[in-house]
Amino acid sequence: MDAKTLMKLKKALLTERERLLNAASSSRKSDFSIATEDLADETDLTSVELSQGIVFTLREKEQRTLADIDQALQKMEDGSFGACEDCDEQISAKRLEIYPTA
């Protein structure tokens, strides 16, 4: 893979990493700050608990994505980026542009 493509992918990964970190930081304060005593009944409480469960699941997905991004960035540093972990063949640049953590 040429250096220009590698830098483009690295920039995209760093941008996505920063976006995820900023989103997590700003939403972390508000996602779980609902006071249950302010809810009218058990239906409201159930709805809030369901919403919080969904938010928790999304945060877990974001954490996995961040780990994948960090792994891809590490591979860029050690020179193994773009190689399939199973067969060691090179992954096409087009595929990596679409899915840079592959």
Q: What is the pTM of this model?
A: 0.77
Q: Is the Cβ–Cβ distance between 61 and 20 less than 8 Å?
A: no
Distance, CA of 88 to CA of 81 (rounded, Å): 10
Per-residue pLDDT tens over the stretch 47-62? 878 887 888 888 899 9
Q: Is the Cβ–Cβ distance between 60 and 31 less than 8 Å?
A: no
Q: Is the Cβ–Cβ distance between 48 and 39 less than 8 Å?
A: yes
Q: Which residue has the higher pLDDT, 42 or 82?
A: 82
Instruction: Report domain extents, the chain.
Output: 3-17+42-98
Structure tokens at 25: 């930081």
Strand partners, 83: 90
